[in-house]
């Protein structure tokens, strides 16, 4: 999907909250804002699938290791 640049101005508290929440989720502020807009627009299903895919990609090695340990 092509990306379009969008510039917005927010107060420092809002900017700080966006940075902190994005960091806590392990995503960029850009991605965090995109997800918020999608949720607000009713695209939560797609956002969930993307978040689940990101989670699996990030923790795939942990799951693989755990399964290997259980199989012996």
Round to the nearest angstrom and report the end-to-end CA distance of the chain. Answer: 43
pLDDT above 80 (res 7):
yes
Asked if residue 53 is part of any domain, the answer here is: yes
User: What one-character-per-residue DSSP string does 40-63 give?
Assistant: HTT-HHHHHHHHHHHHHHHHHHHH
Domain span including residue 43: 12-71
The CA–CA distances, whole Å, from 54 to 8, 10, 14, 49 equal 26, 28, 25, 9
Asked if residue 52 is part of any domain, the answer here is: yes
Asked if residue 31 is part of any domain, the answer here is: yes
Asked if residue 2 is part of any domain, the answer here is: no
Asked if residue 4 is part of any domain, the answer here is: no
Q: How many domains does the chain have?
A: 1
Could you read off the pLDDT of 25-46 as tens digits, one per residue?
999 999 999 988 888 777 666 6
Asked if residue 50 is part of any domain, the answer here is: yes
Asked if residue 47 is part of any domain, the answer here is: yes
Please tell me the pTM assigned to this model: 0.55
- For residues 24 and 52, give the distance between their C-alpha atoms in angstroms, rounded to a whole number: 16
Which pLDDT belongs to residue 19?
Answer: 95
Which pLDDT belongs to residue 50?
Answer: 80
């Amino acid at each position: 999907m092509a990306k379009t640049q969008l510039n917005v101005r927010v107060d420092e508290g809002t900017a700080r909250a966006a940075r902190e929440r994005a960091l806590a989720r392990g995503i960029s502020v850009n991605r965090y804002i995109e997800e918020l807009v999608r949720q607000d627009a009713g695209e939560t299903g797609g956002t969930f699938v993307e978040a689940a895919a990101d989670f699996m990609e990030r923790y795939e090695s942990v799951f693989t290791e755990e399964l290997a340990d259980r199989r012996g």
